[in-house]
Amino acid sequence: MRHHNTNRKFGRTSGQRRALLRSLARSLVLRGRITTTQARAKEVRPFIEKMLTRAKKDTQANRRILIASLGDNTVAVKLIKTAENYTTRAGGYVRIVKTGPRKGDASPMALIEFV
């Protein structure tokens, strides 16, 4: 039975999945918007929203958790600066916009960006 197994596997081991989510989240923080597949966008949204909620409260413990999750101090600092824009917002920091299928394999694509 597949109870509580809601995460997508992406045909990868758990370490590779963690690295994929971390890489997508870092790119989103650094660039503000990225184009990826719909499945990847739907997986990275809860990850980045939890990180942004943590970044809204700038404490030493939260900084350390952000650095551990995102893998780099500069990305964590940029996320904390981004979080300053969302102090009054209670969630929903990221928007997913569906775009057309990818030309090579017709995979459904999406644009993910900060609101």
Q: What is the CATH number of the domain that holds 34?
A: 3.90.1030.10
Q: Could you tell me if 96 and 111 are in contact, meaning their C-beta atoms sit under 8 angstroms apart?
A: yes
DSSP 87: S
pLDDT tens digits, one per residue of 19-49: 999 999 999 999 999 999 999 999 999 999 9
Looking at the predicted structure, is the pLDDT value of residue 7 above 90?
no
25, 65, 89, 94 from 40: Cα distances, Å: 11, 23, 24, 14
Look at residue 18 in the predicted model and tell me its pLDDT. Answer: 95
Q: Does a structural domain hold residue 1?
A: no
Global pTM reads 0.92
Residue 38 belongs to domain spanning: 14-114
6 falls within a domain: no
Q: Distance between alpha carbon 49 and the CA centroid of its chain, in Å?
A: 7
Residue 32 counted as domain residue = yes
Q: Using pLDDT thresholds of 50, 70 and 90, give the confidence band for residue 6.
A: confident
